Structure 1
């Protein structure tokens, strides 16, 4: 994803030559925090320790809270980056020579996203409903539109059956991620289930 993350807090002290290094330091801290948060949330879910994320990023907890005042702010930043990456991948695949392979590659990426960040998505969506956060709905709309465009291209080329419904396909991928979330063999089982879906999509 070519992520654009809002809410970056950059503390500046003084002026002149000192300003640029401070901005660069703040940007690096932000990026390290986001990277460690992705790993921690993927490993421990939405309740991962924020202090541990700060420790892994090599910064003080106060630095984390300056960039992300609440846990939800950090979760939203991680989820936004991952969803933008998924959308960007779909756009890159839009000119691939093999339309079916492009769909399969993108659905596999969507499945892995669902397996890794299912708890984050639930936390963000529940809060978005409470706060009327339209930004979260926009992420989901963008990802759906990218997936639909890949499926439409594959339908028009004859690589995918004409009766395919975009929402059915994408919801099925989400259902696979949900069904495999607590399975010790979840990732491998999810791949096998996705392979069945892709075979079902393929034109005979």
Structure 2
């Protein structure tokens, strides 16, 4: 792929900065036209840099998703597999609850309607990074058989969506994750 011209790099960086602000203010459905207007470019420029909303959302959330994936890898050497998995799930939940638009972004473009080229890379990367933690926890008997990292990313996404409008979404999402992980019914 040829190197971008300097103005194209500036436009890309400006679009990302504006998109981050607009998504923080308006969620994952922030207006692409508004993003273009605030960035001082035309809507065609937005589409050249980001062929669809999925590509824009992935770019906006890329850095934090990479950090969460690195955190999962770092936790791989933690002695207690259950503790490692819970710590990672709490980190994913906290970020999802504190970052408007991420939970919706993780749900988009899945299933039959997914675009193979621009599919849900954030959710896929999180699940791939968490899978070794889930496997270790399953081997230790800390996770029910058949549970996958994809299941847990979907569960965390649901929790963050359910708590999105709570006065303290991070605390409520953490509480809901705790309830989910402990189970609703006491061990008998």
TM-score (norm 1): 0.63
Q: Larger Cα Rg: Structure 1 or Structure 2?
A: 1
Match of 1:146 in 2: 129
Does the C-alpha gap of structure 1 residues 162 and 75 become closer, same or farther in structure 2, counting only changes over 3 Å? closer
Say which SS state the counterpart of residue 192 (structure 1) adopts.
helix
1:34-183 matches, within 5 Å, as 34-50=16-32, 53=35, 59-62=39-42, 64-68=46-50, 70-79=52-61, 82-115=64-97, 116=99, 117-122=102-107, 124-125=108-109, 129-130=112-113, 132-133=115-116, 135-136=118-119, 139-156=122-139, 158=140, 161=142, 163=144, 165-167=146-148, 169-183=152-166
1:186 aligns with 2:169: yes
Does the C-alpha gap of structure 1 residues 106 and 36 become closer, same or farther in structure 2, counting only changes over 3 Å? farther
Q: Which runs of 4+ in 1 moved over 6 A?
A: none
Match of 2:186 in 1: none
Does the C-alpha gap of structure 1 residues 94 and 135 become closer, same or farther in structure 2, counting only changes over 3 Å? farther
Match of 2:4 in 1: 10
Distance 1:9 1:48 in 2: 29
Say which SS state the counterpart of residue 48 (structure 1) adopts.
coil
For structure 1, list consecutive stretches of 5 or more residues without a partner in the other structure.
1-6, 12-21
For structure 2, list consecutive stretches of 5 or more residues without a partner in the other structure.
184-188
1:107 Cα deviation after fit? 0.6
Instruction: Give the aligned CA root-mean-square deviation in angstroms.
Output: 3.6
Q: Indicate conservation of the 8 Å contact 1:8/1:30, yes or no.
A: no
CA-to-aligned-CA distance 1:64-114 (integer Å, 9 cap, x gap): 454235545423433555544432331232223554443223112322344
| Matched residues, number | 176
